[in-house]
Chains A and B, each alone.
Chain A
Amino acid sequence: MKDIFWLIPFVPALSTLILVLFGRKLPKKVVSWQACLSVFISFIIALISFFSLLKTPPESYPIVKNLFTWISAGSFSANLSFQFDPLSAVMALVVTGVGFLIHVYSVGYMAHDKSYTRYFTYLNLFTFAMLILVLASNMILMFVGWEGVGLCSYLLIGFWFEKHSAANAGKKAFIVNRIGDAGFILGILFIFLAVGSSEFTAVNQAVLGGLIARGGATLIAILLFIGATGKSAQLPLYIWLPDAMEGPTPVSALIHAATMVTAGVYMVARMNLLFTFSGTAGNIVALVGALTAIFAATMALTQNDIKRVLAYSTISQLGYMFIGCGVGAYAAGIFHLYTHAFFKSLLFLAAGSVMHALSGELDMRKMGGLRKYLPWTYPTFLIGAIAIAGVPFLSGFFSKDAILTQAYAQGQYFVWALGLMGAILTAFYMFRLIFLTFHGKERLEPEAKKHLHESPKVMTIPLAILAFFSIVAGYIGLPVVLGKKVNIFQNFLEPVIPPASEGHLSMGMEWTLILISVVVALLGIYIAYVFYLKRPGIPHSIVRRIPGVYKLLYNKYYVDEAYNAVIVNPLIKGSEIIYENFDLAVIDGALNGSASATGFFGRALSALQTGYVKDYVLVFLLGAVIIVGILLF
């Protein structure tokens, strides 16, 4: 049973293949069952592999399964080979577990869509690619998964491609990701040149063995991180993720919250030896993470679109994961990845359930007072919000606290402070969302109100399960202050991720930090309560007082506009100018002997424009013969 793990990705792959070839002829029921079942089987295999991994001594990690030599030429080679170790195990379980629940939810959510089969084909394909990503044993194969999930993201964001906005968002996501990918490929090439292989074990050995200089390590790590900023939506490449909300909501939950966007975090954690060895790169990761966390949180404050709030929140939370990785607490980063997968997919699915109830309404200004109509959605949504806000005893609290404590312990006070500010904003905007949506006055459109209904069981049961895990998932990673042994999660990952160099924090300090986190979370919620329930006039008066700031936030700092003005438009305008003035004018002009090409060349060629190609060839041939004659004799 030790090496059946490599089968995990291939069950959804098989399902994809069947759907591609025969999907159009299969009845809807079969499609749903097959799609969900294939992910469930993967989940079971992942569980079996996980338990057999527990029985394997850590010295023999990772378990590698090499299928065949994939590419090789000269000194370049890459195998189609997979590896299983605690880190892959966590990722595989999250991807298949949460993925399965979202597949099931989709059966209800997408029930009336015309392109039902196409949807599940993409979703299965995504699961396959994501599993390749997390199980690959070398960077080249990892890149296959990396690009594969990018493709599925493109396809699923643009799922309703008849809409301009959806098609645009899909394209944008792919192209922005490609910018990151360019950096990623370069990083891989540098690694290959330094190590002669891209197998993770070989790279790690090379780092430990001092084969890579520190400067080189920093360069490589930064290049890889550029890739991560694309995939995991960090500054400055985060711009695609808010637009990605054009896709169906379950897709937002699976791809743009729980799994794909965390690929960058996974990659950094996978390469943790390199980042730690570099030092500088780690600091950059932490700083970018912290800046993104706060930057995105501020943008979430003013959004009225329920999914966009969640999207900015995802960017912000991914920032936290990178803070964890950057300060050397990779296990904490992955821990947050894991808890976030539950509560953020819960939030998205619950938001989807709200949309479902309101016939597709996304604008929170047209909601309010929904709690009594949605007896399942409301409590689960609330649990998700409490978890992400960092209220004690729910999963998000433990993971976020672990990150912030570590940041403080490593002396990264600036990062810690940013993280803390982000935390208060998080609590605030999440509860702003809750209050606007479920509490207060009903502001529903009459038409929407007529069809108002709670979602079917196939949707609410996954919500309930995710809510359950959003509460309990944190208990395998209790704060170290309660004892070394209680952080089961960190201990489990230890063979892959050596724990961060011990920060010197006293017990008192640790408790203080925890207390600060708690206060911050509760404060954020309280402010939201005052602003949106108790005195709903306050937000308006604030907007009136600082209209500039509000406008700036509401328009997301005009970053998209700036990118268009500085990069996209000049590129297109410039190309047009070059095309008209060089390709058409100079090169062709010279050939055509048009006015722009003067002198002998122009005249000589313009004589030919009569079309007598034959004459020209004859003359040339004659010339050639004469030259040859001279040379020969």
Chain B
Amino acid sequence: MSFPILSFVTFLPLLGAILLMFIPKDKKGALYTISLAVAFITFAVSLLLYFNFDAKTADPQFVEKGAWLGYGINYHLGIDGISLFLVLLTTFLMPIALLSSWSYIQERIKEYLIFMLVLETGIIGVFLALNLFLFYVFWEAMLIPMYFLIGVWGGKRRIYATFKFVLFTMLGSLLMLVAIFVLYSTYFKATGTYSLDLFDYYQMGLNPGLQIWLFLAFSLAFAIKVPMFPFHTWLPDAHVEAPTAGSVILAAVLLKMGAYGFLRFAIPLFPDAVTKFLPVLVILSLIGIIYGGLMALIQKDIKSLVAYSSVSHMGLVMLAVFSLNLEATEGAIYQMLNHGLSTGMLFLIVGILYERAHTRLIKDFGGVSKQMPVFSAFFLIAMLSSVGLPGLNGFIGEILCFFGIFSSSRLFAILAISTVILAAAYLLWMFQRVMQGPITNEKILSYRDINKREIGYLVPIVVMMFWMGIYPQTFLRKMDASVTQYINRIKSKEKVFVLQPKSPADKPVKAKETKPR
């Protein structure tokens, strides 16, 4: 067997976290050096995934599979065109998030860094796991560091925010756990074999009645994570209270796990239920787009404004996901990456402001551009990326999403395009109030412009924004095969049932629908 690259990428951060435990907590330099080194190596190794990724193969690559606990609970990792860039996004942003923490996090630095690295392992694991049990383990494991990151290093109302965050997420994921067990038992009853392998489940035809309940359970977990309207209220609170790096990772990567869950599990596993619930899901997504935009318009806190903008943007992603066609799905994945970059950067920007002002209320600012011209340029780029200005990344995702949505439904596309106007309105208005106009608050005169470290971690994001906006082929072509297969999988309405689930290569044998019990 070749080098287990996926395991390496997944667990290197965890190893780094363990290593950190042996470093004295007052050695800030050493702690940061190690965690940054770990994050950078993880990123570098994950780049190998990109370069060695075979764009022609739809199935997972670099697969690692081994027995673990028995009874179908296997260790099974793999990466395909859907998860590839989400993993890269995570490994790309982690060093940036760590760099941004240097001056922001002043206490319990050691624990903080440990949690950040553990979080990375959890997130990457979620994107790579192909065994449902393993997936669930990562899904839940990732909650723990996040819980502490907000709860310990958060703002004034951090306990409330953490409580809300955990409550919402737990609610969803426990139902998902039940659904996973139901799947497990159904599979066992049908075949006499234990399996939690996602690809075994793909080939299993479930009766539509059962699908509905399972789909609802899975969907709830994912919809809360996205978050879709009306499960979104945990997000603004979590964001407002989280430390900068926590917000960055939360917005850029954690939310994507919800959308990813739909693409990987909820939709391909339960295609009949999807068809049934499509109208509801589509309408919730649409409400999310418009509602999120309107709410963003009136927020007084910059962070909660950006949080509501996430609700709106992710609404578009979900609407594209539910359009169930190739263009929209690639657009949705692309838009997830865009949102990761643009919103991640916006949170970094807000963090930079906060470090100087110790406030995030829009009314406390005004005229900052004059005092911080370089910062202003970065803020502008982040904003324009989020608005979807052509030439930057956001546009590619938006136009593909719009096109895909439009192919499915004219009306929905027309409604969704309102995001183009709303996004410009809430972001530009905020930018005006914070950055432009005369300086009214004297404290602003003491802000210094961003330093080299801050420029250093913003520049890579800007470079990626332009790259993704000007030459998207780099990214889109790697997705083709997997997304096509995904679309075919849900489009083929035939109900198939597996008799011999030995290896995924075996052709599934068609069988009669199972009767509801």
Stretch at the interface among A180-188, A285-293, A322-330, A479-487: A180-188
Q: Which chain A residue has the least Cβ–Cβ distance from B162? A: A613
0 or 1 for each of A594-633: is its CB under 8 Å from B? (1 = yes):
0000000000000010010100110011001001100110
A168 vs B366: C-alpha distance when bound (angstroms): 13
- Chain B residues within an 8 Å CB radius of A167: 432, 436-437
B10 within 8 A of A: no
A72 vs B331: C-alpha distance when bound (angstroms): 10
Asked if B170 contacts A620 (CB within 8 A), the reply is yes
- Chain A residues within an 8 Å CB radius of B429: 171
Asked if B294 contacts A575 (CB within 8 A), the reply is yes
Q: Which of B397-423 contact A (CB under 8 A)?
A: 399-400, 402-404, 406-407, 413-414, 417-418, 420-421
Query: Min CB distance, B28 to chain A, in Å?
Result: 32
Given contacts A148-B391, A161-B435, A579-B295, contact A73 B327 (CB under 8 A): yes
A69 within 8 A of B: yes
Asked if A186 contacts B230 (CB within 8 A), the reply is no
B163 within 8 A of A: yes
Query: Min CB distance, A593 to chain B, in Å?
Result: 11
Query: Min CB distance, A55 to chain B, in Å?
Result: 33
A350 within 8 A of B: no
A420 vs B196: C-alpha distance when bound (angstroms): 79
0 or 1 for each of A557-599: is its CB under 8 Å from B? (1 = yes):
0000000000000011011101100010001100100000000
Asked if B436 contacts A72 (CB within 8 A), the reply is no
B390 within 8 A of A: yes
B330 within 8 A of A: yes
A162 vs B432: C-alpha distance when bound (angstroms): 10
- Chain A residues within an 8 Å CB radius of B399: 71, 76, 140, 185
Q: Which of A73, A182, A571 contacts B476 (CB 8 A)?
A: A73
A192 within 8 A of B: yes
Asked if B421 contacts A175 (CB within 8 A), the reply is yes
- Chain A residues within an 8 Å CB radius of B367: 162
Asked if B181 contacts A151 (CB within 8 A), the reply is no
0 or 1 for each of A143-172: is its CB under 8 Å from B? (1 = yes):
110011001001000100111100110110
Q: Which of B171, B181, B437, B473 contacts A164 (CB 8 A)?
A: B437
Q: Which of A69, A163, A182, A628 contacts B420 (CB 8 A)?
A: A182
- Chain B residues within an 8 Å CB radius of A175: 421, 424-425, 428
Q: Which of A189, A578, A627 contacts B402 (CB 8 A)?
A: A189
A518 within 8 A of B: no
Query: Min CB distance, A169 to chain B, in Å?
Result: 10
B509 within 8 A of A: no
Query: Is the interface on chain A under 10, 10 to 19, 20 to 34, or 35 or more residues?
Result: 35 or more
- Chain B residues within an 8 Å CB radius of A70: 470-473
A178 within 8 A of B: yes
Asked if B326 contacts A73 (CB within 8 A), the reply is yes
Asked if A189 contacts B403 (CB within 8 A), the reply is yes
Given contacts A174-B428, A627-B178, A632-B181, contact A162 B298 (CB under 8 A): no
- Chain B residues within an 8 Å CB radius of A632: 181, 185
- Chain B residues within an 8 Å CB radius of A68: 471, 473
- Chain B residues within an 8 Å CB radius of A583: 233, 295
A454 vs B431: C-alpha distance when bound (angstroms): 39
Query: Min CB distance, B472 to chain A, in Å?
Result: 6
Asked if A576 contacts B326 (CB within 8 A), the reply is no
Asked if A591 contacts B233 (CB within 8 A), the reply is yes
Query: Min CB distance, B411 to chain A, in Å?
Result: 11
- Chain B residues within an 8 Å CB radius of A154: 428
Given contacts A162-B436, A189-B402, A189-B406, contact A620 B174 (CB under 8 A): yes
Asked if B403 contacts A76 (CB within 8 A), the reply is yes
Asked if A162 contacts B233 (CB within 8 A), the reply is no
A572 vs B297: C-alpha distance when bound (angstroms): 7
Given contacts A175-B421, A587-B233, contact A192 B295 (CB under 8 A): no
Query: Min CB distance, A451 to chain B, in Å?
Result: 25
- Chain B residues within an 8 Å CB radius of A170: 432
Asked if B417 contacts A147 (CB within 8 A), the reply is no
Asked if B436 contacts A158 (CB within 8 A), the reply is yes
- Chain B residues within an 8 Å CB radius of A148: 389-391
Asked if B178 contacts A571 (CB within 8 A), the reply is no
Asked if A587 contacts B420 (CB within 8 A), the reply is no
B164 within 8 A of A: yes
B489 within 8 A of A: no
Q: Which chain A residue has the least Cβ–Cβ distance from B476? A: A73
A621 vs B174: C-alpha distance when bound (angstroms): 7
Query: Min CB distance, B16 to chain A, in Å?
Result: 29
Asked if B438 contacts A162 (CB within 8 A), the reply is yes
Q: Which of B434-485 contact A (CB under 8 A)?
A: 435-439, 470-473, 476, 480
0 or 1 for each of B475-504: is its CB under 8 Å from A? (1 = yes):
010001000000000000000000000000
- Chain A residues within an 8 Å CB radius of B166: 613
A57 within 8 A of B: no
- Chain A residues within an 8 Å CB radius of B395: 144, 147
0 or 1 for each of B345-366: is its CB under 8 Å from A? (1 = yes):
0000000000000000000000
Query: Min CB distance, B502 to chain A, in Å?
Result: 23
B370 within 8 A of A: yes
- Chain B residues within an 8 Å CB radius of A161: 369-370, 435-437
A185 vs B480: C-alpha distance when bound (angstroms): 25
Query: Min CB distance, A366 to chain B, in Å?
Result: 25
Query: Min CB distance, B401 to chain A, in Å?
Result: 10
Given contacts A72-B473, A144-B391, contact A186 B167 (CB under 8 A): no
Query: Min CB distance, A583 to chain B, in Å?
Result: 6
Chain B residues within CB distance 8 Å of chain A: 159, 163-164, 166-168, 170-171, 174, 177-178, 181-182, 185, 230, 233, 291, 294-295, 297-298, 325-327, 330-331, 367, 369-370, 384, 389-391, 395-396, 399-400, 402-404, 406-407, 413-414, 417-418, 420-421, 424-425, 428-429, 431-432, 435-439, 470-473, 476, 480
6 A-B residue pairings within 8 Å (CB atoms): A68-B471, A147-B390, A158-B432, A162-B367, A186-B413, A628-B185
